[in-house]
Amino acid sequence: MTFKIESSKQPSDIYQYAGKLLLQSELPADANPQLFTQIPSITRKLLSFTCMRCGNQKHSLFGKIPCANCNETHLYCRNCIQMGRVMECEALYYYSGEEPTWTNYPSPMTWQGELTPAQQQASSKLVQAIQDGMKAYLVWAVCGSGKTEMLFEAIEKGLQLGKRICIATPRADVVRELKPRIQSAFQEVPIQALYGGSDEKEGSTQLIIATTHQLLRYHKTFDIIIIDEIDAFPYHNDPTLSFAVNRAKKSTSTTVYLTATPRQDLRLRIARKHLPHTFVPIRYHGHPLPVPQLVISYSLKKTLKKNKLPKSLMKWMNHRENPKRQMLIFVPTIQLAENLSTMLKEMKNLPFQLIDSVHSDDEERIEKINQFRYREIDLLITTTILERGVTFPSVDVMVLDAGHTVFDEAALVQIAGRAGRSADDPSGEVIFLHEGKTDAMVQAVQSIKQMNKRGGF
């Protein structure tokens, strides 16, 4: 395909397009074609197809559509269509012009807090990994250990070295949580947050916070990629996202992995000493992780299907150790979140005045999460969208129907980790309400007890 453009880009525009992977429709109108390399958007090999933007090779995730330009029917990728349609007849372009020179910040960090000894050990190891140009490094730190603060010195080192940095996380809610915290710690450094529906869309700053999906837009761009919650859905079970991460980083990059609940593949790499790591077994405030209580509720699912409230739920809500705490109830489905919210709002004499629900399809999702954070909601019913990456200072937590398949061991450990995150209230009750124990529940409790033991409790 011929791509004819008359004028060239000014040097200042290098920063806008460097490292980007673009659809033809996304190319700047006055771009110089010599600054962009064209690659096929979809390749064919015998009976197989590959989307060159997301790496998709599943036949079921390709479709065909008539093309108005060619008057032919072409393949398109359905897997990454939310990023704009990739069609077989339209090439992809990546910037291949002059490499931009990023700022060497002498002292960019404005955060003046202090790290605990455990945090400082992990932080120093990260700084060394970046300074030495290590390929990969893992920080395994329990929920509430302060992983974000452990990153600050490493980010500062990267900025001092003039590196381009991306902090990637699987969920948009976590990006929204991280942006103000990182910006407060680096007040003079421009930072953009990229996620579906975000106002910031350029992705042209030296320091970027993004969902892992957004990395599909980049090609050999970042010197440092920090992947937060590598074990989380959707990253751990979506090969598209690891494909995007690998393409978005430079060949000389350092990748930092963060997790509180490493899955088996990471544990195996650690055991075989294939992945250098630091383990932080203690929360920043020095108190143990709350250990969940397993509470059985016979005929739980039948009770919920009849739109009735389990007696165990009502008993616990009315007899909590600290009734001043807010309450999070995790449920496995959107429908149950909405039904439970309706039932509780109709109840009288509950110890909560303001009750609501939130889930991934909720148009008021951001507003409700902020209302809960500022104690404008007392009880919030949620799906797993709040299982990780968000901090509320004083909550009790219940997992309703904890035996549901959506609650695997990692999810249950993360959910339990929402309690006791504040130094002012370092404990919190965690209840797994179920009608029969599952391996995931038992393993989650064992994992938390083991972490507490390793932390000296």
pLDDT single digits (tens) 180-208? 999 999 999 999 999 988 888 888 999 99
Please check whether residue 1 lies inside any domain of the structure: no
Please check whether residue 454 lies inside any domain of the structure: no
- Residues 145 and 205 both lie in one domain: yes
Please check whether residue 109 lies inside any domain of the structure: no
User: pLDDT tens across 411-423, in order?
Assistant: 999 999 999 999 9
- Cα separation values, 51 from 31, 90, 216, 353, Å: 25, 12, 11, 51
Question: Which helix H or strand E contains 246, and what residues bound it?
Answer: helix 239-248
Which pLDDT score, from 0 to 100, does residue 12 have?
Answer: 54
pTM for the whole thing?
0.90
- pLDDT-based confidence at 353, cuts 50/70/90? confident
CA nearest neighbour of 228 among 116, 390, 417: 390
User: pLDDT tens across 61-78, in order?
Assistant: 999 999 888 888 999 999
Q: What percent of the chain has pLDDT over 70?
A: 96
Q: What are phi and psi of 328, to 5 degrees?
A: -110, 125
- Residues 384 and 312 both lie in one domain: yes
CATH number of domain containing 195 = 3.40.50.300
Averaged pLDDT for residues 99-103: 91
- Residues 158 and 185 both lie in one domain: yes
- pLDDT-based confidence at 382, cuts 50/70/90? very high
Q: What are phi and psi of 266, to 5 degrees?
A: -70, -40
- The residue among 250, 280, 310 that closes a domain is 280
Please check whether residue 225 lies inside any domain of the structure: yes
- The residue among 95, 128, 146 that closes a domain is 95
Tokens of 306: 């009849």
- Residues 213 and 344 both lie in one domain: no
Least confident among 26-35, 97-106, 375-384: 26-35
With beta carbons less than 8 A apart as the criterion, state whether 223 and 252 touch: yes
- Residues 419 and 342 both lie in one domain: yes
Please check whether residue 6 lies inside any domain of the structure: no
Omega into 239 within 30° of 0, i.e. cis? no
Please check whether residue 332 lies inside any domain of the structure: yes
Residue numbers of the domain that contains 194: 117-280
Q: What is the mean pLDDT of the chain?
A: 91
- Residues 162 and 252 both lie in one domain: yes
- Residues 245 and 341 both lie in one domain: no
DSSP 20: B
Residue 13 has pLDDT above 80, yes or no: no
Residue 166 has pLDDT above 70, yes or no: yes
Gap between the Cα atoms of 399 and 141, Å rounded = 23
Which pLDDT score, from 0 to 100, does residue 347 have?
Answer: 87
Averaged pLDDT for residues 387-395: 91
Please check whether residue 378 lies inside any domain of the structure: yes
Per DSSP bridges, beta strands 92-95 and 21-23 are antiparallel
- Residues 350 and 218 both lie in one domain: no
- Residues 155 and 231 both lie in one domain: yes
CA nearest neighbour of 430 among 419, 442, 444: 419
Please check whether residue 338 lies inside any domain of the structure: yes
- Residues 312 and 413 both lie in one domain: yes
- Residues 274 and 395 both lie in one domain: no
- Residues 269 and 122 both lie in one domain: yes
**Cα 316 from chain centre:** 31
- pLDDT-based confidence at 27, cuts 50/70/90? confident
**How many domains, the chain?**
3
Q: Taking the CB of residue 318, how many other CB atoms lie within 10 A of it? A: 11
- The residue among 230, 258, 280 that closes a domain is 280
Which pLDDT score, from 0 to 100, does residue 47 have?
Answer: 84
With beta carbons less than 8 A apart as the criterion, state whether 58 and 1 touch: no
